[in-house]
Amino acid sequence: MKIKIESPEQGIEKVYLEGELDFQNSQQIRLEFTRLIDKKPIRVLVNLEHVSYIDSSGLAVFIELFQKMKRLGGRLAFFNLQERVRNVFEIAKLESIFHLAGSEQEALTLLTQ
């Protein structure tokens, strides 16, 4: 699993993930998100375009990130989900909790409403 984090402007963090998000690498992602939360961002956008697979441990990492962002008063959105990954969110009934967007611009718009 590859992860890249950019800070294009104050309070906004963009996260780019690539690979499979499963039990084997969920701890690595959890650690990176902990470092990200330490910056106290207002908005976090997560690009899942290159994530080909996610399991329940991957979802757990995202739920933890969501809870931490909520405690900070921040907002979180995911964008560019492959159909297979989006289906996992839907099966777990998480599309009603998370902001899922088709594009980065749509995700940013969702977070500024």
CB-facing half-sphere around the CA of 92: CA atoms within 13 A: 19
* pTM for this prediction: 0.94
CA distance 38 to 79: 23
Q: Is the pLDDT of residue 9 over 90?
A: no
Using CA atoms, how far apart are residues 15 and 24, in angstroms rounded to an integer? Answer: 19
Domains of the chain: 2-112 (3.30.750.24)
Query: Distance between the two ends of the chain, CA-based, in angstroms?
Result: 32
**pLDDT recorded at residue 113:** 79
DSSP-based three-state secondary structure for 38 = helix
Name the 3-class secondary structure at 18: strand
Q: 3-class SS at 83?
A: helix
Mean pLDDT for the chain overall: 94
